[in-house]
Structure 1
Amino acid sequence: MFQGSQSLNVDVKGRVAVPSRYRELLAAVCEGRLIVTANPYERCLNIYPEPQWKDVKAKIEALPNSNKKVRRLQRLVLGNASELEMDGNGRLLLPPTLREFANLDKKAVLVGLGEKAELWSEQSWNEMLDESDDEPMPEEMSNLSL
């Protein structure tokens, strides 16, 4: 559903316009209802169409909350989840707490990742692209040929 990246503007009220190439599809798939929440691994936001969110939410709720890391993930993702609906102009009003979490000010980048998208501040996105990656490659990627 989501692919590619696109620069977006965040207006003074905290609204972003959903790119036109996604609007019709989102209207058909979820009637423009999206869930926006904190990404638990990086300072950006995850955006899910409502049907995909239900699956993600169920997986997170099923985790054993006796583990401190699980509780942190649940608090970040479920505790910050906001139900949003595109307005008549295809815009989403991002809650101030989520804008602050992701350091969203005036310039943002929407990154499509299939069934979800990430929303980054332009500065954070560029910094992430420039940083070196010292982590070992997961085994699942060892035979991936692109």
Structure 2
Amino acid sequence: MDSLIGTYECKVDAKGRLMMPAALKKQLSPVLQDGFVLRRSVFQKCLELYPMQEWQNVMQKVNKLNRFKKKNNDFIRRFTAGVKMVEVDLNGRLLIPKDLTVFANISKHIVVASAIHIVEIWDKDLYEQVISDAALDFADLAEEVMGQDDDDHGLS
């Protein structure tokens, strides 16, 4: 699957269902029938939606961890805490389970944002705050992460 593109403002209905944005649904169309895994983000108060194949790729790495090491076992438990299999229904809606809605402080207005091969689901106000806070340090972060002088020619 190619990298996903786009950030979309959406609404969640009273039952916790998100209508998938048409442009994102089109990008995900080759994998819609396989389903998704929805989980808590490690670093932020948002949710991560993994197409099933992408989740399998991550789990291949996780499955290589030695479970007889306590830190590995603790990581696996926390990484998979609250993980749910979800599907997009025939009407193009995705049900966000209540426990994950509570974790991410999701209210009516949300942002669905592409993050390479996964989709992040944010409460709109929290997303705006994180993006605003991150903007102050983004130039330094971009230089540190992407500005190496090795054989990479950069993005521009």
Task: Please indicate, yes or no, whether the TM-score normalized by the shorter chain is above 0.5.
Answer: yes
Please identify which structure carries the higher helix content.
2
Q: How many angstroms apart in 1 are the aligned matches of 2:75 and 2:118?
A: 18
3-state SS of paired residue (1:63): coil
Q: Please name the residue that 2:151 is paired with.
A: none
SS of 1:87 mapped into structure 2: coil
Aligned mate of 2:36, from 12, 34, 56 = 34
CA 1:75/1:133 → structure 2, altered by over 3 Å: closer, same or farther? Answer: farther
Q: In structure 2, what is the equivalent of residue 63 of structure 1?
A: 65
Question: CA–CA distance in 1 between the matches of 2:11 and 2:23?
Answer: 16
Equivalent of residue 142 in structure 1, options 123, 127, 147: 147
Distance 1:8 1:75 in 2: 31
Find the aligned partners of 1:115 and 1:34 in 2 and give their Cα distance.
12
Q: Output the amino acid matched with 2:16.
A: G
Code of the residue aligned with 2:147 in structure 1: it is: S
Per the TM alignment, residue 129 of structure 1 is displaced from its structure 2 partner at its CA by: 1.2
Distance across 2 between alignment mates of 1:45 and 1:76: 14
Evaluate the alpha carbon distance shift between residue 130 and residue 47 of structure 1 in structure 2; reply closer, same or farther with a 3 A threshold.
Answer: same
CA distance in structure 1 between the partners assigned to 2:75 and 2:124 by the alignment: 25
CA gap of 1:51–1:30, structure 2 versus 1, over 3 A, is: farther
Gaps of 5+ in 2: 149-153
Which of 1 and 2 has greater Rg?
2
TM-score, with length taken from structure 2: 0.80
Deviations 1:11-55 (A, max 9, x none): 110010111123244342241511110001110001111111111
Give the Å deviation of 1:96: 0.6
Q: CA deviation digits over 1:88-124, x for unaligned, max 9?
A: 1110111111011111010110110121110111011
Paired positions, count: 144
Structure 1, unaligned stretches of length 5 or more?
none
Q: Kindly, what percent of the aligned residue pairs are identical?
A: 26
Is the contact made by 1:38 and 1:76 (CA closer than 8 Å) also made in structure 2? no
Q: RMSD value over aligned CA atoms?
A: 2.3
Equivalent runs, 1:26-105 vs 2, <5 Å: 26-31=28-33, 33-65=35-67, 66-68=69-71, 70-105=72-107
Report the Cα distance in structure 2 between the residues aligned to 1:56 and 1:95, rounded to whole angstroms: 22
More strand by share: 1
Residue aligned with 1:31, SS: helix
